[in-house]
Amino acid sequence: MLSDRITDYIHYLRFEKRFSRHTLDSYQKDLEQFRDFALEQFSLDSATNISHFHIRSWLAALKDQKQSPRTINRKLSSLNSFYKFLLRQQAVEKNPVRQLHALKLPERLPSYMKEQETQHLLEELQFDEGFKGFTDRLICELFYQTGMRRQELLQLKEADIEWSLQQVRVLGKGNKERLIPVHPVLLDELTSYIAEKKIMGLPDDGHLLVLENGGPLYPVYIYRTVKKYLSIATTLQKKSPHVLRHTFATHLLNNGANIQAIKDLLGHSSLAATQVYTHNNIAKLKEIHKQNHPRG
């Protein structure tokens, strides 16, 4: 049955690939959605009987539901990865997804803050008083100074800070580890923060940043915190943790960093994902040219 195959695949992703809970949930939701569609529309409950025709019908239904091209492509990618797994398990003879093509996406440049806006955020803006404000400011500092993802920040431990080498060890997608340099001033702030946790007698489960009661941070808390302070510091429409990640990469590029180095710092698996930041760089050059050249 298709449900059993999906269970086996999710088990594989969890225990062998060691994917995050968030990623596992996304894969499972996508695959179960396709399973339900195949069963309801075609009375199919076996991976071997599914063809590219059935999958194309599913994609058409998603379009009718006004799903975005990006979302549809993600679901198609989930199904493709699932069938690759089934091929390795010799549970199917072919991958029907290979006969389909991903939808063309509109070009979407990353939103990022100007340098004066990040300066206002981190040096001039008043955060809340007390331990909560301390935590919130460090959330914003870490996102901007390291470019890490929200999930990476959530699982960051005190033991991941390499104090003598002035760097932080981050566990990224696919359980890949990378090292990111951090400024000594940020290390001093983290030292004070850890000392404050001990003074407050908060329970110690190893997490670097915690709530006022010592409990671990959670995704919505981080999102709301970043949105709150970015709403004060910038006029950007988007105000999420990923904006600070984009800002980290864009400011590095604008100040002369090598694109390969930025790729490694961000934890991208391919250079293609990082090259989107060069478009922002070109847009900035065009703006400078227009403002300063006599024939601009």
Catalytic residue chosen out of the listed positions 5, 35, 149, 246: 149
Catalytic residue chosen out of the listed positions 27, 83, 144, 277: 277
Catalytic residue chosen out of the listed positions 242, 246, 251, 263: 242
Residue count of the chain? 296
Under 8 Å CB-to-CB from 232, ≥6 apart: which residues? 121, 125
Strand order in the sheet with 161-162: 161-162, 167-171, 177-181
C-alpha–C-alpha distance, residues 166 and 9, integer Å:
39
Catalytic residue chosen out of the listed positions 54, 74, 173, 228: 173
Q: Is 17 a catalytic residue?
A: no
CB 86 within 8 A of CB 7: no
Say whether 167 sits in a helix, a strand or coil: strand
Q: Is 279 a catalytic residue?
A: no
Name 168's bridge partners: 161, 180
The runs of H, that is alpha helices, within 46-120 are: 52-64, 69-88, 115-119
**How many alpha carbons fall within 13 Å on the CB side of residue 202?**
22
Q: Which residue has the tokens 């908060």?
A: 202
Q: Is 149 a catalytic residue?
A: yes
Catalytic residue chosen out of the listed positions 137, 245, 246, 251: 245
Region of 223 on the Ramachandran plot (φ > 0 left; ψ -120 to 50 alpha; else beta) = alpha
Q: Is 56 a catalytic residue?
A: no
Q: Indicate which residues carry an active-site annotation.
A: 149, 173, 242, 245, 268, 277
